[in-house]
Amino acid sequence: MILKNDDLTVELLSYGAHLYRVLAKDKVGKKENIVLNVTPMSDISHDLQYFGATVGPVAGRIKQAKIGQLSLQANENGNSLHSGSQGWSFQEWELDWQEDKNSITVSFSYLDDKSGFPGPIKAAVIYRLAGDQLTITFTGESSVASYFNPTNHSYFNLSGDLKTTIEEQNLYVSAPHILETDNALIPTGAFIGVSDTPYDFTNPKRVNQALRDLPNGLDTAYIFAEDSDSNTVLVSDDVSGRTLTVTSNARSVIIYTATGWHRTTYVNHRPMVKNLGLAIEFQEIPDTPNHPEWGDVALLPGKKIVKSINYKFGVK
């Protein structure tokens, strides 16, 4: 499925409701792909790094694969990651297409009775392209009490067609804290201020400035201020001139640099290597069901939940 206008070309797949390719203009108007996608496409069902996938119903890690008395699939170090092997990333979604003079919308729908979360969960992922902005909206409904904290797991590289790694690209994250985690990346419950640490992107800086002090790179949940009205990640590339501004009302965003890459995977018809793409995963704080002090990600009967992520593409 291809969505196209003068500003952007967006390719979507019904499997995993994937964002597969995004062609965006550079400073001289040349359109190139700025998203990492698994190649050949037939390998996407075996992708365990979620390139462009819709992750749900609950993104991130759940400690010991348990929420109270609910047991989930333990698919990483005894914990649940991204809702396990039967999560939304590995399912075929139905689609519906709508177009008017101002926008193109594709709605993916799926009735989830496989992930292990209470349900079934009636889910939709809606992609809307309007001008230079792509909006992804997630909706969820359930007749029984369940959980809902999805995200999109795209990896971006604004150089265009992977000319370089992300190391020289600039990053801004409007979050004053990160989430402390243990060695298995499970939250300890503490927030750590980013000021005077390599994790501080509250002023834009090149990614490699942080990587010099972080040999394992970033796989880090940034926590926005509770009273913030602008939760923002901004990426820019000086050579191509491209910019990407990602905004959401979600309380956190996972920034992942793939620095410790060790899998044999081909993306965009070349081997995946470390620091080749930057994942930007807006979601509520990981493992929130086990930390009620952070709020909740409950999906209650009779209540429809709607969450959105906005991607604005430009040049400088």
User: Domain of 68: which CATH number?
Assistant: 2.70.98.10
pLDDT of residue 202: 97
SS3 64: helix
Reported pTM: 0.96
CB count in 10 Å sphere of residue 154: 28
SS3 288: helix
Assess contact for 166 and 233: CB atoms under 8 A.
no
Based on the structure, what is the number of domains in the chain?
1
CA distance 276 to 237: 14
- Across 182-197, average pLDDT: 96
H or E stretch covering 38: none
Could you read off the pLDDT of 278-309 as tens digits, one per residue?
A: 999 999 999 999 999 999 999 999 999 999 99
Residue 215 preceded by cis peptide, ω within 30: no
**Domain housing 171:** 2-315
Cα dihedral sign for 274, 170, 27, 231?
A: positive
Structural tokens at position 96: 């519906």
CB count in 10 Å sphere of residue 316: 11
Could you read off the pLDDT of 104-129 as tens digits, one per residue?
A: 999 999 999 999 999 999 999 999 99
